Amino acid sequence: MTMNLFNQFLSPTFLGLPLIAIALMAPCLLYPSPAPGWQSNRWTTLQNWFIGSFIKQTLSPINTKGHSWALLLATLMVFLITLNTLGLLPYTFTPTTQLSLNMAFAVPLWLATVIMGFRNSPTHALGHLLPEGTPTPLVPILIIIESISLLIRPLALGVRLTANLTAGHLLIQLVSSAAFSLLLSQTTAASLAVGLLLLLTILEVAVAMIQAYVFVLLLSLYLQENV
């Protein structure tokens, strides 16, 4: 039973070749680059409004040095939302349930913010490791604690996204399996399970969007600290 539950998170293969690359290319296929001659319609207007509002809200606390990250953060936001929501469709694979992929997103971007901070203002970047007014005996301990908290940030980013999506997929599979098994024997219980499954699906759509937003928002906060 345990193996059956977690088999859905295995990367699918075809003729020995992993299909995760196709899943990662799905957002690129869904959002083609518009030609200059295209007229604006409701979909493109809504898309532009969403991206503009997100960029304005995310970058408003950051000074102008960090505004060069606007395109990267907006692209990552749309990319993660698309991957997370497409993974809720039947017979699909969610790449963002793989910790290795999420860490591949988190570590380079977090490291880029740290390097930017040390390059622009080394004194200010090192000042985060030691709060002002710290008693002298606590200085070595606080430096170690702050260094660990700094290094654990990319791990927290990747694990948070992986854990939330994995838990949601497991809940959906458990409830759907219970509804299917009770369909013939206990119709009332099966109906309640189906209703619960619909509510869980709506909740998971919200979680898929929220977790993508939280991932990018935390990256913007790390960027704000270093610019």
DSSP character string of 108-169: HHHHHHHHHHHHH-HHHHHHTTS-TT--GGGHHHHHHHHHHHHHTHHHHHHHHHHHHHHHHH
Class of residue 15 by CB neighbours under 10 A (exposed 0-12, middle 13-18, buried 19+): exposed
Per domain, the residue ranges of the chain are 42-226
Predicted confidence (pLDDT) per residue in 18-38, tens digit? 777 777 787 777 776 665 655
Please tell me the predicted confidence (pLDDT) of residue 35: 58
When pLDDT is cut at 50, 70 and 90, the band that residue 227 belongs to is confident
Residue type, 174: L
pLDDT tens for each residue of 55-101: 888 888 888 888 888 889 988 998 999 989 988 888 778 888 888 88
Per-residue pLDDT, averaged over 150-154, amounts to: 91
Mean pLDDT score of the chain: 83
Residue 182, SS3 per DSSP? coil
The answer to whether the CB of 220 falls within 8 A of the CB of 62 is yes
User: Over pLDDT 90: what percentage of the chain?
Assistant: 24
For 97-139, the pLDDT digits (tens) are 888 889 999 999 999 999 988 888 887 777 777 777 778 787 7
Q: What pLDDT does 132 receive?
A: 73
| Residue with token string 């270093």 | 226
Say if residues 63 and 227 touch (Cβ distance below 8 Å).
yes
Report the C-alpha gap between 184 and 16 in whole angstroms.
39
